[in-house]
A and B are shown apart, each in its own frame.
Chain A
Amino acid sequence: SQKIEQNSEALNIQEGKTATLTCNYTNYSPAYLQWYRQDPGRGPVFLLLIRENEKEKRKERLKVTFDTTLKQSLFHITASQPADSATYLCALERSNDYKLSFGAGTTVTVRA
């Protein structure tokens, strides 16, 4: 069956450092992989989308990589700030589908 796994442990880092989150999947062939941010008591907010034929995507301090051979995406937050503290979700989507399949998320805490 399909499985999407994100860092099982919460991530605690010092302000200014880079946070690296992983998203691994099995039995899935996504055309798109998306990353969302979710704050407590709120719905997820879309951050970045990367396509299966793209290796890397950047947006401001965020960087996403996508390796379809390893079946893995890495999500980097560079020069992290306390305001980056949140839960980050990865979501996969097939090309002939519109339903997103989500991982359980990784909670990031950035210490000042």
Chain B
Amino acid sequence: GAGVSQSPSNKVTEKGKDVELRCDPISGHTALYWYRQRLGQGLEFLIYFQGNSAPDKSGLPSDRFSAERTGESVSTLTIQRTQQEDSAVYLCASSLGRGETQYFGPGTRLLVL
């Protein structure tokens, strides 16, 4: 069974452009999380999806950030009008359910010029 996959692995964009990051969770995992990891810092929670429940968006840093998930499968994180401070690694994780071990993808490295 494949692990969590993310695409693209690297993304370079110009300030002001929109970007879309994709996460494919492990099959059967109902919970999905997005985190941001800035250089030299700990992971910051962004958003959490659990089944068909309303997502917990409490970690999104601004209204430029949004995420969607189709059922219990793919999720996309969208950053509109990117800023240089958005440069970071964006990590996705999935788990069997709330409070279960989280399995992380390799991340998408975003660089905003």
Decide whether A and B assemble into one complex: yes
Contacts of A104 in B (CB 8 A): 40-42
* Residue pair A99, B106 in contact (C-beta under 8 Å): no
Residues of B in contact with A, size category: 20 to 34
- Which residues 56-112 in A have Cβ within 8 Å of B in the complex? 89, 91, 93, 98-105
The yes or no answer to B65 lying at the interface (CB within 8 A) is: no
- Give the CA-CA distance A56 to B32 in the complex, in Å: 29
| A28 on the B face (CB < 8 A) | no
Chain B contacts of A19 at CB under 8 A?
none
Q: Which of B12-20, B69-77, B80-88, B96-104 contacts A (4 or more CB under 8 A)?
A: B96-104
Identify which of B56, B59, B102, B107 gathers the most chain A CB atoms within 10 Å of its CB.
Answer: B102
Smallest distance from the beta carbon of B106 to chain A beta carbons, Å? 5
A44 at the interface (CB under 8 A from B): yes
CB-CB under 8 A from A98, the residues of chain B are 31, 48, 98-99
When distances are taken between beta carbons in the complex, the residues of chain A under 8 Å from B93 are 43
Residue of B whose beta carbon sits closest to that of A42: B106
CB distance from A92 to the nearest CB of B (A): 10
A4 at the interface (CB under 8 A from B): yes
A103 to B40, CA, bound (A): 10
A93 to chain B, nearest CB (A): 8
- Residue ranges of B at the interface with A (Cβ–Cβ < 8 Å): 4, 31, 33, 35, 40-45, 48, 56, 59, 91, 93, 98-99, 101-107
